Amino acid sequence: MPDYHIVEVKSKKDLKKFIRFPDKLYRDCPQYVPALHSDQVKSLTKVSTLSYCSRRMWMVLDGNGEVAGRICGMINPRYNERYGKKRARFGWFDTINDIKVAGMLIGTAEAWAKENGMNEIHGPLYYNTLGKQGMLVEGYENVPPFNCLYNYPYYNDLVTALGFEKECDWVQYKLRADQPLPDKMVAIADRLMERYKLVEGDIDSLKHDKALVRKFFQIYNESFAEAVYNFIPFTDEEIAEEAEQTIGLLDKRLCCFLLDQDNEIAAFGISFPSISGALQKARGSMFPFGWLHFLKALKNVETIDLMINGAAPKWQNTGVSSVFHNIMARQYRECGAKWAITNPQIETNSAAFVWNKYGDHELYMRRRCYIKEIK
Mean pLDDT of 333-360: 82
Among candidates 218, 208, 246, which has minimal Cα distance to 310? Answer: 218
Question: Whole-angstrom Cα distance, residue 280 to residue 138?
Answer: 21
Mean pLDDT of 198-220: 88
| pLDDT above 70 (res 90) | yes
> What pLDDT is attached to residue 357?
67
Determine which helix (DSSP H) or strand (DSSP E) holds 364, and give its type and residue range. Answer: strand 361-373
Question: Whole-angstrom Cα distance, residue 175 to residue 358?
Answer: 8
Interval 219-273: pLDDT, tens: 888 888 877 888 999 999 998 898 888 888 899 999 999 999 998 899 998 999 9
Residues in the chain: 375
Q: How confident is the model at residue 182 (pLDDT cuts 50, 70, 90)?
A: confident
Verify cis geometry, omega within 30 degrees of 0, for the bond prior to 344: no
Verify cis geometry, omega within 30 degrees of 0, for the bond prior to 34: no
Mean pLDDT of 23-47: 97
Interval 132-145: pLDDT, tens: 999 999 999 999 99
Contacting residues for 297 by C-beta, under 8 A, at least 6 apart:
273, 274, 275, 277, 278
Domains and CATH numbers, the chain: 5-170 (3.40.630.30), 178-337 (3.40.630)
| pLDDT above 90 (res 20) | yes
Please give the model's pTM, rounded to 2 decimal places: 0.94
Higher pLDDT, 110 or 219: 110
Instruction: Give whole-number Cα distances, 100 to 69, 73, 92, 136, in Å.
Output: 10, 18, 18, 21
184 CB burial (10 A radius; 0-12, 13-18, 19+): exposed
Enter the DSSP assignment of 229. T
Q: How confident is the model at residue 21 (pLDDT cuts 50, 70, 90)?
A: very high
> What pLDDT is attached to residue 335?
95
Q: Please, are residues 125 and 89 in contact by the beta-carbon 8 Å criterion?
A: yes
Question: Whole-angstrom Cα distance, residue 96 to residue 68?
Answer: 6
SS3 of 205, please?
helix
CB atoms near residue 258 (< 10 Å): 23
Angle between helices 183-195 and 321-335 (to 10 degrees): 120
| pLDDT above 70 (res 332) | yes
Longest dimension (CA), the chain: 71
Cα dihedral sign, 93-98-100-103: positive
Give the angle 371-373-375 at the CA atoms, nearest 5°. Answer: 150
Q: Please, are residues 313 and 349 in contact by the beta-carbon 8 Å criterion?
A: no
Please give the mean pLDDT across all residues of the chain.
93
| pLDDT above 70 (res 210) | yes
> What pLDDT is attached to residue 352?
62
Sequence-ordered alpha helix ranges (H) in the chain: 12-25, 37-45, 77-83, 99-115, 154-161, 183-195, 203-207, 210-224, 236-246, 276-282, 290-299, 321-335
CB atoms near residue 54 (< 10 Å): 14
Interval 40-73: pLDDT, tens: 999 999 999 999 999 999 999 999 999 999 999 9
Task: Tell me which amino acid residue 279 is.
Answer: L
> What pLDDT is attached to residue 1?
61
